[in-house]
Structure 1
Amino acid sequence: MKDNFSTQSDHYAKYRPTYPPELFDYLLSITPSHQTAWDCGTGNGQVAFELAKRFEQVYATDVSQAQIDNASQANNITYSVQPAEQTNFDNNFFDLIVVAQAIHWFDFEKFYNEVRRTVKANALLCVTGYGMIQVSAEVDAVIDHFYRNVIDSYWDAERKYVDENYQTIPFPFEEIEAPEFANVLEWNSEHLMGYLNTWSAVKHFIKQNGYNPVDELKLEIEKHWGNDDFKRVKFPVLLRIGKV
């Protein structure tokens, strides 16, 4: 898998959105056993941290040591630097595997083979992520223009799977129809800019052009931000769950 997130990994931990607690409560309710969970492509460890509140032991992997160095800690989380497609975990080990905003970077076939190898009977695979941020009609229009017209060509090809809400990824498992979830947060404009600066396409743009396009975007967004220090922002949660 690619590693687009080792640089400024502390920003990734600080500015990326979390996931709603209701999502993890739901996963707990449908998982037959709660002994072991694997957060694959853990990034800043936010999912591992939530799983650790609900499972006896959580294993979290990423290809980026820098990300893991900035990850959320708990006594029952074991972090390791490993690719998703080839790990040192035992056969028939996990009750639940979660991949959050990462599966589009994986080699699907090799990863799914690793899933089948490492899960217990009746275990679940949860593929989740989040769609485009929603703030207000005016701010959303500015961000959408930036996304589609300024940095569009700088996204990796794999980004299309996120744009397609993970509905077009290969998913060769018996799928469970899950409820819809959304993550609603209170952000100020500084947090929004920090989040936009974590986009991999922005990093690619800076590397190729020598300047940050978010600086100009910030001026446009501030025109529509108004007097409110904080605004309600919403991320629709992408979710596919399968019995392995």
Structure 2
Amino acid sequence: MNYFNPRNSAERYSIGRPDFHSNTINHIKENLHIDRKLDRALDIACGTGLSTKALLDIAIEVYGTDTSQEMLNLALEKDKIHYQIASAEQQPFTDNTFDLITVSSGVHWFDIDKFLMEANRLLKSKSWLVLYDNFFISEIVGKKDFSNWFPEVYKKKFPSPPRNNTYLWTNENLFIKNFNLVTEERFKNTVAFSKKQLALYFTTQSNIIAAVEKNETTYEEVENWLDRELSPFFDNDFQTQEINYGNWIKYIQRLN
């Protein structure tokens, strides 16, 4: 199931996801020593284009693909970015087209072996596949109890749907696919959220989307529950809290 196909999911995603992709792109620019714009960059599983528009800073031509038409209907910077509907494993481009391919918070939904074969086909020799994820680590600055609430209350009520989190990102495995994992990077991003904004973010997660799509609950019921559950961590509806997200980046280079 594609949890981001429904219109409700796309609409919530477009307004509920924090935009810190520019920070990640700055890390990529520095690590790959990009001192002039690349010719072409592709963002796969682009969603509504938050991760895609960040590529405009480092590439002349930017492309974004996704399997959800509802997401692409809400995509950003359509006058500057070429968007198309396509699966990660079957892209509508010719061989050796791109200097850079990025995937933000999406590779765990792929058939990864098939995706790597496709990325190898699309990339120019010695070019880069960069995978990264901004993920919720349940840290509100100054609110230690929140780190327990997220796994013990939220995730027990709304468990994560199955995803491919066990792939072997080793060079022994990647060499066979003509790739080399050069380095990895980890850091944190901090976002200021009000209680309502944090609740909206949660409703963009596949945990809640899955429950709604299975008719186990409704968004209204979830929002009321989140309002009650999050109240102890906010003094009022208008206060914002600093919330830390984790970020990892894998820098993977095509061998030849």
Q: TM-score, normalised by structure 1?
A: 0.88
Note the alpha carbon deviations across 1:194-233, whole angstroms, 9 max, x for none: 0111122212223342343452232121022124611111
**Residues 95-110 of structure 1 correspond to what in structure 2 (within 5 A)?**
95-110=99-114
Q: Which runs of 5+ in 2 are unaligned?
A: none
Note the alpha carbon deviations across 1:38-67, whole angstroms, 9 max, x for none: 100000101110001221011100000100
Q: Is the aligned partner of 1:223 residue 2:232?
A: yes
Note the alpha carbon deviations across 1:158-182, whole angstroms, 9 max, x for none: 0x62xxxxxx423313112244332
**Residues 120-199 of structure 1 correspond to what in structure 2 (within 5 A)?**
120-132=124-136, 133-135=138-140, 136-152=143-159, 155-158=160-163, 161=165, 168-171=166-169, 172=174, 173-199=179-205
Secondary structure of 2:225's counterpart equals: helix
Compare 230-239 and 142-151 and name the one that shifted more.
142-151
CA contact (8 A) 2:49 2:75 kept: yes
Superposed displacement of residue 24, structure 1 = 0.7
Secondary structure of 1:72's counterpart equals: coil
What is the rounded CA distance, in whole Å, between the counterparts of 1:147 and 1:185 in structure 2?
20
Superposed displacement of residue 74, structure 1 = 5.0
Judging by fraction of residues, say which structure has more strand. Answer: 2
Aligned residues, how many?
Answer: 234
Note the alpha carbon deviations across 1:12-37, whole angstroms, 9 max, x for none: 01111223533212322306671111
Superposed displacement of residue 134, structure 1 = 2.0
CA spacing shift, 1:31–1:91, aligned 2, 3 Å: farther
Note the alpha carbon deviations across 1:115-167, whole angstroms, 9 max, x for none: 00000011111111122242132233222223432122xx3210x62xxxxxx
What is the rounded CA distance, in whole Å, between the counterparts of 2:21 and 2:61 in structure 1?
21
CA spacing shift, 1:3–1:183, aligned 2, 3 Å: same
Residue identity over aligned pairs, in percent, reads 22
Compare 182-191 and 129-138 and name the one that shifted more.
129-138
> Following superposition, which runs of at least 4 residues in structure 1 exceed 3 angstroms of deviation?
210-214
CA contact (8 A) 1:183 1:235 kept: yes
Identify which of 67, 72, 77 aligns with 1:68. Answer: 72
CA contact (8 A) 2:21 2:51 kept: no
